[in-house]
Structure 1
Amino acid sequence: IIEMRYGLYNGKVRTQREIAKMLGISRSYVSRIEKKALNKLFKELSM
């Protein structure tokens, strides 16, 4: 989700809605996964 959201894989930035449609999940679930992943990244980078 992070790769798709910020274009890290192919350079194409996607919205939460686009990602949700691609994965067959709700936009709110994409949002929760994204938030959790970003929190993990920030936690690791701040150590």
Structure 2
Amino acid sequence: MKSAFVHHHRYATREDAKRDLFGYIEGYYNRQRLHSAIGYITPEQAERQAA
């Protein structure tokens, strides 16, 4: 995450950094990346298969 997202980025406040990182984690990292625990598919794909 450091090299992909926040490297060389300076935040004015700690709250700005927290908000930005939360958006990255919830918007991309947890939803779109492949997860080995669920068979190397995205959580969205796993939800569709379970339905």
Q: Find the structure with the greater CA-based Rg.
A: 2
Q: Which has the higher contact order (CA 8 A, sep 6+)?
A: 1
TM range (shorter): 0.3 to 0.5
Question: TM-score scaled to structure 1, two decimals?
Answer: 0.48
